[in-house]
């Protein structure tokens, strides 16, 4: 299938690939998808004391659109508050990357990854 230039750009030059210490209380980790489905995304966010995401990293096992969706999300979440980031919808990701209908699930997975990372971060701060 033909990929859009934006997908190819993220795929060939993925932004913010890597890992952060998931035990670090300032880090939220979201891992979504399953190997059986051919997609696993792991998104990590580092949140500072002002509640702003100062860094984000990802690793993704999946097709080019899945890699591009997660790479794009790491760019979008940086510098934003958790509440702002919660507003990102899969539709926004799919539109930005011009994903075809069969690849919409990649953007859904990326939205889920954001939610999972936030939930993990917040679970570390419930008691505090």
Partner 1 sequence: MTLKIPIYLDYSATTPVDERVAKKMCDCLTAEGNFGNPASRSHVFGWKAEEAVEDARDQVAALVGADAKEIVWTSGATESNNLAIKGAAQFYKKKGRHIVTMTTEHKAVIDTCRALEREGFEVTYLDPEPNGLMDIDKFKAALRDDTVLASVMFVNNEIGVVQDIAQLGSICREKGIIFHVDAAQATGKVKIDLENLPVDLMSFCAHKTYGPKGIGALYVRRKPRIRVEAQTHGGGHERGMRSGTLATHQIVGMGEAFRLAGLEMASENERIRMLRDRLWAGLQDMEEVYLNGDFEQRVPHNLNVSFNYVEGESLIMALKDIAVSSGSACTSASLEPSYVLRALGRNDELAHSSIRFTFGRYTTAEEIDYVIALVKRAVGKLRELSPLWEMYKDGIDLSSVQWAHH
Residues making contact with partner 1 (CB under 8 A) = 1, 3, 8, 11, 14, 17, 19, 31-42, 59-64, 66-67, 102, 105, 108-109, 112, 116
52 burial class (0-12, 13-18, 19+ CB within 10 angstroms)?
Answer: middle
Residue 36 or 128 having the CB closest to partner 1: 36
Smallest distance, Å, CB 104 to partner 1?
A: 10
Q: Is 63 a catalytic residue?
A: no
Which is it for strands 27-34 and 53-61: parallel, antiparallel or unpaired?
A: unpaired
User: Cα separation of 86 and 125, whole Å?
Assistant: 17
Residue 15 or 124 having the CB closest to partner 1: 15
Choosing from 37, 86, 98, 123, the catalytic residue is 37
What is the dihedral sign for C-alpha 74, 76, 81, 87?
A: negative
Residue 38 or 51 having the CB closest to partner 1: 38
Phi, psi at residue 48, to the nearest 5°?
A: -90, 180
Active site residues: 37, 106
């Amino acid at each position: 299938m033909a990929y859009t230039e934006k997908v190819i750009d993220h795929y060939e030059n993925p932004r913010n690939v890597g890992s952060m210490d998931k035990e670090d209380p300032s880090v939220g980790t979201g891992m979504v998808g399953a190997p059986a489905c051919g997609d696993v995304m792991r998104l990590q966010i580092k949140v500072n004391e002002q509640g702003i995401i100062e860094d984000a990293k990802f690793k993704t096992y999946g097709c080019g659109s899945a890699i591009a969706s997660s790479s794009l999300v790491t760019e979008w979440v940086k510098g934003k508050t958790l509440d702002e980031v919660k507003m990102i919808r899969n539709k926004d990701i799919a539109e930005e990357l011009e994903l075809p209908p069969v690849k919409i699930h990649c953007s859904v997975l990326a939205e889920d990854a954001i939610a999972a990372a936030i939930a993990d971060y917040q679970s570390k701060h419930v008691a505090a």
